[in-house]
Chains A and B, each alone.
Chain A
Amino acid sequence: MAAKKKRTPHAQSDSWVVVAADSVIDAQKLDSDPAFVRLRNPSTDAASLYMLGAGDAQLYEVKAFEEDFRSWFVGQTVQRDGRLLFVTPMDPLFLILPYLIKAGKEGKFQPVDQIVMDEEFPVCSRLLSCTCSLASLHHIAEEKEAGSLKFHRYSQEKTMNWLKKKVERTVDALKKKNIYVGEGVKSTTFVRVKSESEYHEEDYLRYAHGLISEYISEELSKALLKHLQLPELTSPKETEPPSKKRKLSDKAVEAGEDYTKFNSADFARKPPKKMTAAQKTLAKVDKTGMKSMSSFFSPKVKTEKK
């Protein structure tokens, strides 16, 4: 990976700061330039940005690191948008898969160039140019050859095995990269007391499954969970710390507080802790010598005395 500061000579909004794999710009042999393309995101079913390498040889996904309060200084200019784009290699099968599944419902063997078609995203046919696309289709589809022609049909079984392998390889990568898979958020700089071995294999599997699910439909994600023999998490029991210990006593359960007071007339709601801007400015007003509003409604004790 090499950091590339890409800047077009046009307006500022046309420039991005990108971290890209070296292979993206390694285009000596091929005549076409790498290009950003919009393709159907298999997980959300909506458009997402991808990149096709030179000669459509390799697919890359584009992810943006985006946080508030960030800007770039690029050369002698300031770029308001502080995003950092990552262009990372991606398996094109993930994007081809939804089309195969759709076509597979018809149950027929079809040529892939007829399967991978999308009116909304015509670019998708270029996915088949990727060097590994056709060669790896057998991971997710059954193949039939008739003369020089090849026909494919989606196979759920093969796909599940392929996805399982992906999950396993992700687990390996997670372990190798020391990625924290336990509950809650932890800083990467945080020194862990627990050694990695103490995390359950299931934690890793679940985490990796979640990551792979970013690239497949929800339906497929659920099927994969079953295939991995991971029970679906129905209650948040496992991810939340145990709540207060239950009291063990023989006494009858009674309310710890008198809740009826909330029904009485003198119960007034406490003002919200967070004040609006207007309230804040009002609170700052010098109130010395001012009567409180309630004083106008209280019985006039003093005047009666005199």
Chain B
Amino acid sequence: MGRRRRSSCGAKHTELQNVSSSSVMDLGPFETDNSVSCRLASQIPDVCKTEDCCLGIDEAGRGPVLGPMVYGICFCPVSKKKELKDSKVADSKTLSEAERENLFQKLDEARSYVGWALQILSPNTISTSMLQRTKYNLNALSHDTAIGLVQYALDSGVQLKEVYVDTVGPADKYEAKLSQRFPGIEVTVRPKADSLFPIVSAASICAKVARDRVVKGWNFAEDMGEVDTDYGSGYPNDPKTKAWLLKHLDPVFGYPQFVRFSWSTAQTLMDSKAVTVHWDDDEEDGEKAAQRQHNKSMLSYFSASAGGNDQNPTHQTHRFLTERRLKSLCTL
């Protein structure tokens, strides 16, 4: 059984959304509401609850402006490392989509000792996290997601002894953070861990397969009429992606939730092509803010004519009204 044949049969599978393998990775829970974060997981193999296990963490879809970021963990007993290595799981980036689907199939066949879990962070989750008042950056979000998945494995009874992670940010800091969070577990954070440790490769395959499927069959929550699904790789530098972003820009709402608003690609386009929207936590320089109409300096609230449109400078509006932001009008 050569790899070639398998991959060719995998290629057929990728043509369809509902291939047989999708039964082992049911994206239904995410697709019913793709605006939130969602966890998908395999059955926990019994052997993982009794034997010491190793666990790999990797992510897919960190860079794209479109679609979710998927975090994956894969775990198996330490004693089965060799078998996993023999199954030739490799860094998902070096594989074609068909090969990945195929390898995922193989992981599923090994379900007696290999388990996995995924956290799909919807583009909307990423946008709202990064753009909220207290900014929650992508690294923090990544770290917390990884921690959540490891905790999930522990809570499910997996006897974790070793954890391997591809780094996000400085490796030593991340390693210290995880070690502290999970005492008693040997944490190894390495750049390129997905090509060094088969269990990380397996995790990367799970994550990548899920991301590919989600992106391909994205259910637009918005009523967009005819949506052009030819959005390319979703990476900001892909001309197809750029063209798609230009085409689907709404002057008021910007983009569907499929787009990560926090990406500068999306922001730059919205800044130049869409209606300007001001938020009260916008960082604006004094002059710029003053140029904008309706903007009041903080000082104006303390000065004598707090009434705003009052022509009479001596008249001071009662605080019942000013505290409630109520004022008289002279015209509509």
Interface residues of chain A, those whose CB is within 8 Å of chain B, are 16, 36, 38, 41, 43-49, 61-69, 78, 85-86, 179, 185, 207, 210-211, 213-214, 218, 276-277, 280
Interchain CB contact under 8 A, B295 and A214: no
B325 within 8 A of A: yes
Neighbouring B residues of A47 by C-beta, 8 Å: 330
Interchain CB contact under 8 A, A277 and B318: no
B94 within 8 A of A: no
Question: Given the complex of chains A and B, what is the CA–CA distance between A211 and B324 in angstroms?
Answer: 13
Contact of A207 with B320 at beta-carbon distance under 8 Å, contacts A38-B330, A276-B286 already known: yes
Neighbouring B residues of A45 by C-beta, 8 Å: 312
Q: Which residue of the partner chain A has the closest CB to B278? A: A69
Contact of A62 with B328 at beta-carbon distance under 8 Å, contacts A69-B279, A210-B318, A277-B287 already known: yes
B83 within 8 A of A: no
Interface residues of chain B, those whose CB is within 8 Å of chain A, are 252, 278-280, 285-288, 294-296, 307-308, 310-312, 314-315, 317-321, 323-332
Contact of A277 with B294 at beta-carbon distance under 8 Å, contacts A49-B330, A65-B324 already known: no
* 17 sampled A-B residue pairs with Cβ under 8 A: A44-B328, A45-B312, A46-B311, A46-B330, A49-B328, A49-B331, A63-B326, A65-B324, A66-B325, A66-B327, A67-B325, A68-B294, A69-B279, A210-B320, A214-B317, A218-B314, A276-B285
11 additional A-B residue pairs with CB within 8 Å, beyond A78-B252, A276-B287, A280-B285: A46-B310, A46-B312, A47-B330, A48-B329, A49-B332, A62-B328, A63-B321, A64-B327, A66-B308, A66-B325, A69-B280
Distance (whole angstroms) from the CB of A206 to the closest CB of chain B: 11
Distance (whole angstroms) from the CB of A207 to the closest CB of chain B: 7
The B interface, classified by DSSP as helix, strand, loop or mixed, is loop
Contact of A86 with B286 at beta-carbon distance under 8 Å, contacts A44-B315, A45-B312 already known: no
Question: Given the complex of chains A and B, what is the CA–CA distance between A78 and B254 in angstroms?
Answer: 14
Say which residue of A16, A67, A86 sits within 8 Å of B332 (CB atoms): A16
Question: Given the complex of chains A and B, what is the CA–CA distance between A279 and B311 in angstroms?
Answer: 37
Distance (whole angstroms) from the CB of A160 to the closest CB of chain B: 20
Contact of A63 with B280 at beta-carbon distance under 8 Å, contacts A43-B315, A68-B295, A78-B252 already known: no
